[in-house]
Chain A
Amino acid sequence: NAGVMQNPRHLVRRRGQEARLRCSPMKGHSHVYWYRQLPEEGLKFMVYLQKENIIDESGMPKERFSAEFPKEGPSILRIQQVVRGDSAAYFCASSPGTALLGYTFGSGTRLTVV
């Protein structure tokens, strides 16, 4: 019974490149959440998606960042034209519905922009 799978675990990008982070939720989970964690900080909410819908993107930067959760396949967090300040750990969580008890995090993707 696999948990939330995120890949890649580590991603290095040069400034100006695109970063694509993937998240496969737990089996049976249709809700996906993305968080960003800077060193020595807590997690900051970015976006909440259900299949094919963005429910809440109040934490997403207005430019360069986008997220999707298509009908088939993983959820993707996309960062265009990356800058050094985008370096962080990005975590995905999933849940089967509205119950927070089922809110499970993946192991994260560490993005380093050089």
Chain B
Amino acid sequence: GQQLNQSPQSMFIQEGEDVSMNCTSSSIFNTWLWYKQDPGEGPVLLIALYKAGELTSNGRLTAQFGITRKDSFLNISASIPSDVGIYFCAGQLTDGGSQGNLIFGKGTKLSVKP
């Protein structure tokens, strides 16, 4: 089946650092979404991207929809402790499937450096 390869799997952050993560696929997507999930909760939508090349910001978060429509990245600038959690990319394919059928990456776990 279709897969999203999300990296890194985990990373440690120090307050104030910038963070970057990305997703790639061999399939073409017409929508990319970035979610954050806190322990014991459902995913919360951070940013939605609908056009190839689109660059969108939401506060300290910036995400881009790759030109080839096969990748996306998420940057977090000046990280703060509440940024810890698991970040997921998700995409909707172009070839068929209902609009509800999102493919999720395996997540990037952000933790605080000890």
A contacts, CB < 8 Å to B: 4, 31, 33, 35, 40-45, 48, 55-56, 58-59, 91, 93, 95, 98, 100-101, 103-108
Contacts and interface: CB of A to CB of B under 8 A. Distances in A.
B66 interface: no
A100 B48 contact: yes
Nearest to B103: A45
Given A43-B43, A91-B42, A108-B42, A101 B48 contact: yes
B11 to A, nearest CB: 15
Nearest to A57: B98
Interface in B6-42: 6, 31, 33, 35, 40-42
A56 B106 contact: no
Nearest to B35: A105
Contacts of A48: 98, 100-101
B99 interface: yes
Contact of B100 (A33, A41, A91, A106): A33
A71 to B, nearest CB: 20
B73 interface: no
A107 B42 contact: yes
B48 A98 contact: no
Interface in B86-107: 88, 90, 92, 97-107
A101 B99 CA distance: 12
A93 B35 CA distance: 13
Contacts of B41: 107-108
A105 B43 contact: yes
Contacts of B42: 4, 91, 93, 105-108
B80 interface: no
10 contacts: A42-B4, A43-B88, A55-B100, A59-B101, A100-B33, A101-B48, A104-B45, A105-B35, A105-B44, A106-B42
